[in-house]
Chain A
Amino acid sequence: MKREIWKGSEAIAEAAIRAGCRCFFGYPITPQNEIPEYMSLHMPQRGGVFVQAESEVAAVNMVYGAAASGVRAMTSSSSPGVSLKQEGISYMAACQLPAVVVNVMRGGPGLGSIQPAQGDYFQATRGGGNGDYRTVTLAPANIQEAVDLTQEAFDIADQYRNPVVLLADGLIGQMMEPIVWKERTPRPLPEKTWAACGRGSRDHNNFITSLLIDAPACEAHNLDLAKKTAEMEKNECRWEEILLDDAEVVLVAYGTPSRVAQTAAENLRKQGIKAGVFRPITVWPYPYARLREIAARESVKVFLDVEMSLGQMLDDVHLAVAERKPVRFYGRCGGAIPHVSEVEGAALEAWKEVK
């Protein structure tokens, strides 16, 4: 297959179109403007709709409307913009509407900076909006994976009738790498019999709402959603293990920091220290079970969690490791990207503590 060079944001946009996304609604924000830019040109040419909305809130509610009618719909933004979309994401989760939300994260909190960061981890992995719900959250570490996960995100959304978040950091959005457009086999998916797309020959109207004003009905609905949450947890967890089989120092990182951690681990091995990387690809559901198994290995001495935030995924690493081994942390934030030497130094320090 021919390798082509793509910029992350543009690759995500093209991947969405190839996955059958036909409605894109967005509002500009750096560092993801190439997504709406690409969509504005290509969506109309490919039989789709592009709307630059008046705000992020409007854009996510347009996605809500489009998804309710049964079409594949997407919005994208960056951190402060994604915060604004949380209401819509919660409503879509409540209404069981499939949609894809891309967050190309930048420095926060507030307006923050326009450089890469990962400070939206809690928001993305804990639901983000109000109420009891979760979204499958996919975190690519290279452009090929950004493409593959974007396409799969639409299948996952349709399968569970739930919003899916693609959680990329600004570097993944901006960098270029070679990719191949693979032949995809889409998942077998249920028909969208629930879609509010005109009554047609149906004997009833499909009615989509998140308002369940009686508590017992609302609780029953929540429990139904919880069953789906459990299914997603069971089926959608994924991760990658790099140099991990004999590792004594385990670096845990996702997205760009996982690549920095990989280079750091390779360097440490040249110095005779057995380092490896555990890379969650889904940050929700989090690969707790596998990380727990690794923590139980006799060979594993210490964990180092590396983030472009100040200890958010760290909570999940602690939940998985559960005091079996020490867990250390190294993070940069606000748009700063950790250097290999810094991560290497932090890992070395952690290793010295336990050897």
Chain B
Amino acid sequence: MKKEVILSGFGGQGVMSIGKNLVEAAVVEDLEASWVPSYGPEMRGGTANCTVIISDERIGAPLVESPSEIIAMNRAALAKFEPAVAPGGTVFVNSSIIPDKVSREDVKAVYVPCDEIAAELGNSKVANMVMLGAYVAATGALKQETIETMIAEMFTGKKAKLVPLNLKALHRGMECGRSA
């Protein structure tokens, strides 16, 4: 098993954060994992990305040319990374703010209205969790229970009250991922 994912979106959309979540969950499942941020002279409000690899073997190159999946949280992310996806791979699109459709026919497209679902749940910050749910359900890369446990452990103390909200966002995303 090897998943090579590029996650991309505006700074603040939580792409770095769900990338880290994937690594955390992979470690719980005793897999190898790596996370590499893009960093450089980035512009405020610009597009950030990270590369996550999850594998049952030692990870060589931590950057990838043809990811098995991309997660595009904004329009620039889709434009930049769709051409790179490996044939047969999957493109996850935050359809709330990306009006475009995936143009390639040799990849699968999963449209997830992340921001709309987050708004329905009453907190725009969980849009990334919706996407994480969609990714996990559509790829089967990680177990649902692992992600749920991780979310429960992620918010402690005063933030513990955020656990049900994040779980709801995860589950709504999983529905999108499953039906895609």
Contacts and interface: CB of A to CB of B under 8 A. Distances in A.
B26 to A, nearest CB: 8
Interface stretch (A44-52, A66-74, A181-189, A335-343): A335-343
Nearest to B39: A174
B130 to A, nearest CB: 23
B105 interface: no
Contacts of B34: 175-177
A33 to B, nearest CB: 11
B43 interface: no
Contacts of B20: 5, 176
Interface string A258-276: 0111111010000000000
Contact of A177 (B33, B60, B61, B65): B33
B79 interface: no
Given A5-B23, A5-B24, A176-B20, A259 B59 contact: yes
A176 B35 CA distance: 5
A145 B155 CA distance: 30
Nearest to A335: B40
Contact of A175 (B27, B32, B60, B62): B62
Given A174-B36, A176-B35, A259 B23 contact: no
A339 B65 contact: yes
A114 B37 CA distance: 13
How many interface residues does chain B have, given as a range?
A: 20 to 34
How many interface residues does chain A have, given as a range?
A: 20 to 34
Contacts of B63: 171, 260, 337, 339
Interface of A: 3, 5, 31, 114-115, 171, 174-178, 256, 259-264, 266, 337, 339-341
Nearest to A3: B27
B62 A115 contact: no
10 contacts: A5-B20, A5-B35, A31-B39, A114-B41, A115-B39, A171-B36, A171-B62, A176-B36, A178-B23, A262-B58
Nearest to A113: B40
A114 B20 CA distance: 23
Contacts of A261: 60
A262 B32 contact: no
A341 B39 CA distance: 22
